[in-house]
Structure 1
Amino acid sequence: MADQLIRATAADGGIRAVGVITTRLTEEARQRHKLSYVATAALGRTMTSGLLLVSNMKRPESRVNIRIRGNGPLGGILVDAGLDGTVRGYVDNPEIELPPNSKGKLDVGGAVGNSGYIYVVRDVGYGYPYSSTVELVSGEIGDDIAHYLVTSEQTPSALVVGVFVGAEGVTAAGGVLLQVLPKAAIDEELIETLESRVAGLAGFTPLLQAGKTLPEIMQDLLGDMGLQILPERQIVRFHCGCNGDRFLGALKMLGEAELQDMIEKDNGAEAICHFCGNVYHASSDDLSELIGRLRAETATVN
């Protein structure tokens, strides 16, 4: 099944629901960053969470950044997701591997750590981005994102995200987010019902492996609450906007002296994009051309 995102409502518009499949994009991230099993699960859950969070924003250029910094050996996680369905991300220590946890599953919580912070930045496409910081509660990603929504955005939420990765790579990944909107937020029974239903799931990836589609999963969760699935299905994908021109533009900002030093000592320059792993090279001729542009611009100003 293609990576995709669907939106729905229930309870006469009192519940917002979003479901997303991220199997292929998580596998692409695994290959690009040469991720271990546990690092794949951690980054995949965070990228899935980013797509779920940005899905309720309005302007096409809206984006959400999630940065997780725990006390575990994985180090930091950084994800950037857009309302256009694109997402990218990386972890500080992609090779870290841990034994399974007490439930026999990948120990994402142990890799991330249960002490630290999650930073979320919402860029609505104009003005200053909105940022918020909350403490980690488990390091399992899903619990932490749900805690952020309740604590920072005061939105009662139930969230489940998952990644299944084996010897052949990622075979299932995705998640679902259920939120009680303000007009229904005072209904404590409704909130408890949603939380119990999500908690009652054996996980998200087992549902995908069993052949369940996103509409079927939504139906199981909210079918008795007036579920209305919106017709649009949005394709989601791993995408990074880096390119060679941006690389040269960044080099140009270093100034003539630094560029000349690169020519003399390194015979060029190289950079690796943290988000996607693409490698960019600039030859001595490229750097000399940049120096020429800088001199021309200086002469024009003077």
Structure 2
Amino acid sequence: MTDKLIRAVAADGGIRAVGVITTNLTEEARRRHKLSYVATAALGRSMASGLLLASSMKKENSRVNIHVKGDGPLGTILADAGLDGTVRGYVQHPSVELPPNDQGKLDVGKAVGYNGYLHVVRDVGYGQPYSSTVNLVSGEVGEDVANYLVTSEQTPSALLVGVFVGDMGVTAAGGILLQIMPKAARDQSLVELLESRVSQLSGFTPLLQAGKSLEEMMRELLGDLELFIFPESYPVSFYCGCSWKRVLGALKMLGTAELQDMIEKDEGAEAICQFCGEVYQADEAQLTQLIADLKSE
């Protein structure tokens, strides 16, 4: 199934709904970073959440950065998503694996940690980015992002994200975000209705594996509330803007002494992009040219 994002409204515009399928891009992240099962689930949930949050932004270059830091063995998790449908991310300790939890599922909460924080930065492309930090409530990512939306953005929200990964890699990933819009936020019964319906779902990935489309999931959740699904769908993908030119610029910032040391000790340099795992090699001649450029400046 193709990775995509769709939007909808319900309850006379009082509810905003967004759904995203991220199976292929999550599998690409797994392969690039050589992620364990539980690390794949944690990063996949974070990337899906980032795309769902970014979908509400207006400016073309807007991006959302989700930084999860718990006291679990995975360490830092970072996802960077844009309104343009691109997303990237990494896990500090990608090879960590844990036994399944009591329900036989990947123990993302324990791997992330129950104590820590979720930091969200919204960059609208100009001016000072908006940022906010909240404490983790479960380490399961989805619940933590929903708590952020309620606590920091005062937007009652229900968020369901999931990743299924097995011996064949990632076979289902994505999520659905439901939000009460400001004009309906005082309707507590509407808030409780959304939370109840989301909690009754068996999970996002089981529905996706059963062949349910995003549109069908939304109809099950909101079909009796004047649901309108916008006909346009938007592609989403794993994409990192790193480049050889940027790597050379970063190496140049090290200064002549450090570059000369690399030449003498290693006969070159290797740089690995933290977000996508791309490896860049600079040989002795290229480092010598950088030194010459610095001296000429």
Asked if these proteins are the same fold (TM beyond 0.5), I'd say yes
Deviation at 1:232, TM superposition (A): 1.5
Q: Deviations over 1:200-256 (max 9, x none)?
A: 100000111110111111111111111111121110000111111100011111122
Partner residue in 2 for 1:96: 96
Deviation at 1:281, TM superposition (A): 0.7
What is the total number of aligned residue pairs between the two structures? Answer: 297
Distance 1:231 1:286 in 2: 51
Partner-residue secondary structure (3-state), 1:260? helix
Partner-residue secondary structure (3-state), 2:224? helix
Partner residue in 2 for 1:227: 227
Q: Deviations over 1:58-85 (max 9, x none)?
A: 0010000011000111111011001110
Q: In the alignment, residue 134 of structure 2 is paired with which amino acid?
A: V
Name segments (4+ residues, structure 1) moved above 2 Å.
Answer: none
Within 5 A, what are the aligned runs for 1:166-245? 166-245=166-245
* TM-score, normalization by structure 2: 0.99
1:272 aligns to 2:272 (yes or no): yes
Q: In the alignment, residue 157 of structure 1 is paired with which amino acid?
A: S
Q: In the alignment, residue 161 of structure 2 is paired with which amino acid?
A: V
Partner-residue secondary structure (3-state), 2:67? strand
Deviation at 1:264, TM superposition (A): 1.4
Partner-residue secondary structure (3-state), 1:275? coil
More displaced 10-residue stretch of structure 1: 257-266 or 164-173 = 257-266
Partner-residue secondary structure (3-state), 2:240? coil
Q: In the alignment, residue 174 of structure 1 is paired with which amino acid?
A: G
Partner residue in 1 for 2:53: 53
Partner residue in 2 for 1:294: 294
Q: In the alignment, residue 15 of structure 1 is paired with which amino acid?
A: I
Q: In the alignment, residue 55 of structure 1 is paired with which amino acid?
A: S
Deviation at 1:257, TM superposition (A): 1.8
More displaced 10-residue stretch of structure 1: 134-143 or 262-271 = 262-271
Deviation at 1:153, TM superposition (A): 0.3
Partner residue in 1 for 2:62: 62
Q: Deviations over 1:258-294 (max 9, x none)?
A: 2122111211111111111110011111011111212
Q: Which structure 1 residue ranges, 5 or more long, are not aligned?
A: 298-302
Distance 1:292 1:62 in 2: 38
Partner-residue secondary structure (3-state), 1:31? helix
Distance 2:17 2:204 in 1: 15
Partner-residue secondary structure (3-state), 1:93? coil
Partner residue in 2 for 1:20: 20
1:81 aligns to 2:81 (yes or no): yes
Q: Which structure 2 residue ranges, 5 or more long, are not aligned?
A: none
Partner-residue secondary structure (3-state), 1:291? helix
Q: Deviations over 1:119-167 (max 9, x none)?
A: 0000011001000000000000110000000000000000000001111
* TM-score, normalization by structure 1: 0.97
